[in-house]
Structure 1
Amino acid sequence: MVLLLFVDLDPELKALEALGGFFVLRTGVPPRGPLPTLASAFAGPRSAPFSDVYGDPTTFRVRKVARSVRTREARVAASVAQQGLAARFWSIALGSAALCDRLPDLDPELLLWDPDAGAPEDLWLGEVRFRPVADLDTVVRAGLLVPLSEALRARHRVSPALLWGNAASALAGTVRQLDRWALAHGRPDVGERARTLAARLLAHPDLSGTLDPVTLRRRSCCLYYRVPGGGVCGDCCFERPPRQAPGRP
């Protein structure tokens, strides 16, 4: 497990706080001390016990989500956990690109993760450096979402189509939030930039076809309807929760 200490606080990352909690990327020293990098979390269990928060952070997060939403289905918890992280990745990257015209380098070796925390305390940046906005797809889809999907699928029975549908839905949600912020603050340029960048991202084969191009409704389901008291999401491919087979949880 790789641990990093860090002290920088970049003023342009600080600016993301105005957009809301999901857009915030912390730097500085986490209150819980050094954290594992996302790269080590994606790699799988290390020397610590399997159930330990830092022994296998990905599995720990899924189990934490399962308890939170009260589901016994690991694939449902994995889906909910992945969509939450996808929303964080897109929000930080697209928010910075749209608001500041800069992209923080979210290399998994630099991005630290506390799987026992929620936004914005879950992700911390070990070193502040920037990449061209044109690298958005490389940084988020290829650099974060692909290894996250692989880590989850190695541990749980969850389909890649579902996970990419989650990622696309999270991206669309990020754009909607940026649009609302831009309208409220008289910054139409931020909303326009977010929509333009998102359209390019959604053209990648991994994401293309996951959403209806007109309504942005999903063509897959995140399985949230299977949690106790859950229903279909606003962009779900289903109008109402599917009927579950008798005897299934």
Structure 2
Amino acid sequence: MDLDPELSALGALGGFFVLRTGVAPRGPLPTLAHAYATTASDAAADVYRDPLTFRVHKVAQSLHTPESRVAASIAHQGLVARLWCAALGCAALYDRVPDLDPRWLHWDPDGSTPDDLWLGEVHALPVDALDVVVREAHLVPLTAALVFRHGVSARLLWGNAGSALAGAVRMIDRWARTGGRVDVAERARALAAGLFAHPDLSGTLDAATGRRRSCCLYYRLPGGGLCGDCCFDRPPGRD
């Protein structure tokens, strides 16, 4: 099945999979290419001048954390989950992936969760381009930007990426089994296995348990606890 211009089939999988296409009705939004490339990092950052720092500040305020690296990790996890879901969802449903070139993919840093993404034009690529479309085009520059600007560990961020990819597979699997589309679930698992073979993602999760080998720092939020796949059995520093 080829991609349809509105990627309408993704809507059935849930909000994290939806990828809007065309021109955003709220006017032009920053591209992710701009977000990855900006070097400013100050409290005055705005949506257009420094969208990535703006998003980290927004998450920090929303979650009441003074720690920039914690907010950066949570913001990163939300965006990465959206990228994996949109790309893997298309690959599993259509056997094609859209070209998610960061220059064409618009993002609303001031939006709610799940992150709001708009793809200017839909161009189909073979399914074996999945790694390039997400990891190479987005995760590599996004990781570099957050490590440099917010002091987050690269290992932690790749752990976020592995966790988000596994989460996308689980969501597709639940939908597919409910709807009798076992073929879709099998395709998603096979594609994810290939993605996890790359050194950036290999070893981010324990193969036997599916638990992370790094922590996203969610436990450091006020009232935060442990995620379901956390590497810890109890929050560090607590009895």
Find out whether 1:139 has 2:133 as its counterpart.
yes
Find out whether 1:88 has 2:95 as its counterpart.
no
Instruction: Find the counterpart in structure 2 of residue 172 from structure 1.
Output: 166
Following TM superposition, by how much is the alpha carbon of 1:50 offset from its aligned partner in structure 2, in angstroms? 4.3
Instruction: Find the counterpart in structure 2 of residue 161 from structure 1.
Output: 155
Following TM superposition, by how much is the alpha carbon of 1:32 offset from its aligned partner in structure 2, in angstroms? 1.7
> Aligned runs of 1:73-152 on 2, under 5 Å?
73-119=67-113, 122-152=116-146
- The 2-side partners of 1:70 and 1:193 are apart by 40
Following TM superposition, by how much is the alpha carbon of 1:14 offset from its aligned partner in structure 2, in angstroms? 1.1
Instruction: Return the TM-score normalized by structure 2.
Output: 0.94
Of the three residues 5, 15, 29, the one matched with 1:21 is 15
Following TM superposition, by how much is the alpha carbon of 1:118 offset from its aligned partner in structure 2, in angstroms? 2.9
Instruction: Return the TM-score normalized by structure 1.
Output: 0.90
Of the three residues 220, 223, 227, the one matched with 2:221 is 227
- The 2-side partners of 1:20 and 1:230 are apart by 25
Following TM superposition, by how much is the alpha carbon of 1:132 offset from its aligned partner in structure 2, in angstroms? 0.8
2:201 alignment partner, SS class: coil
Following TM superposition, by how much is the alpha carbon of 1:117 offset from its aligned partner in structure 2, in angstroms? 0.9
**Letter paired with 2:27:** G
1:112 alignment partner, SS class: strand
Following TM superposition, by how much is the alpha carbon of 1:127 offset from its aligned partner in structure 2, in angstroms? 1.2
> Aligned runs of 1:199-218 on 2, under 5 Å?
199-218=193-212
Give a deviation string over 1:177-227, Cα, whole Å, max 9, x none.
000000110000010000000011001000111100121100000000000
2:85 alignment partner, SS class: helix
- The 1-side partners of 2:193 and 2:4 are apart by 28
What percentage of residue pairs aligned between the two structures are identical? 70
Which has the larger displacement, 117-126 or 103-112?
117-126
Find out whether 1:38 has 2:32 as its counterpart.
yes
Find out whether 1:66 has 2:60 as its counterpart.
yes
Instruction: Find the counterpart in structure 2 of residue 6 from structure 1.
Output: none
- The 1-side partners of 2:13 and 2:21 are apart by 17
Q: Which runs of 5+ in 2 are unaligned?
A: none
**Letter paired with 1:193:** R
Following TM superposition, by how much is the alpha carbon of 1:45 offset from its aligned partner in structure 2, in angstroms? 4.9
Q: CA RMSD in A?
A: 1.6
In 2 relative to 1, CA 161–65 (structure 1 residues): closer, same or farther, beyond 3 Å? same
Following TM superposition, by how much is the alpha carbon of 1:121 offset from its aligned partner in structure 2, in angstroms? 6.2
Aligned length: 234
Following TM superposition, by how much is the alpha carbon of 1:29 offset from its aligned partner in structure 2, in angstroms? 2.5
**Letter paired with 2:124:** F
Instruction: Find the counterpart in structure 2 of residue 5 from structure 1.
Output: none
Superposition misfits of 4+ residues, deviation over 2 angstroms: 9-12, 118-121
1:233 alignment partner, SS class: coil
Q: Which runs of 5+ in 1 are unaligned?
A: 1-8, 245-249
Give a deviation string over 1:95-137, Cα, whole Å, max 9, x none.
0000111100000011111111135561100111011110111
